[in-house]
Amino acid sequence: MQWWWQALIGVATALLLAWLALLIALLMAKPGTAQLRDAVRLLPDLLRLLRRLGADPRLPRGVRIRLALLLAYLAVPFDLIPDFIPVLGYADDAIIVAAVLRSTIRRAGLDAVREHWPGTDDGFAALVRLTGLPR
């Protein structure tokens, strides 16, 4: 067998194993139905928040790059877990958004995120609950 076939099979195997590990992690970290409901209801405000935070030159470059990559991931038509799989299909997006927002809040500060939040106070409280950070 030629070396490039072996390399291709190795890369495909590694990608499959990484995908399976992510699937298991998402199954273990699956948010409750109330959290998913909050995330879906907050989606328009979350997208505006991501855009505003990404455009703020006061934030560190790493945060803005992370937000741009998140927006690109959300815009791409394929996901890590296809959306036709019940619950997990949409949960992977919600978990990835929550993880990026959590790291953004930790790096930029809760006040910066609050400054750019376009929604209501109740919506911001739900955002803080979704990211698992103390108010």
Alpha-carbon distances of 125 from 39, 45, 87, 130, 133, rounded to whole Å: 12, 13, 23, 9, 10
Q: Which residue has the tokens 């937000």?
A: 67
* Residue 99, pLDDT above cutoff 70: yes
What pLDDT shows up at residue 27? 55
Summarize pLDDT for 3-58 with one digit per residue, the tens. 777 777 877 777 666 666 655 665 555 555 555 565 566 778 888 888 898 888 99
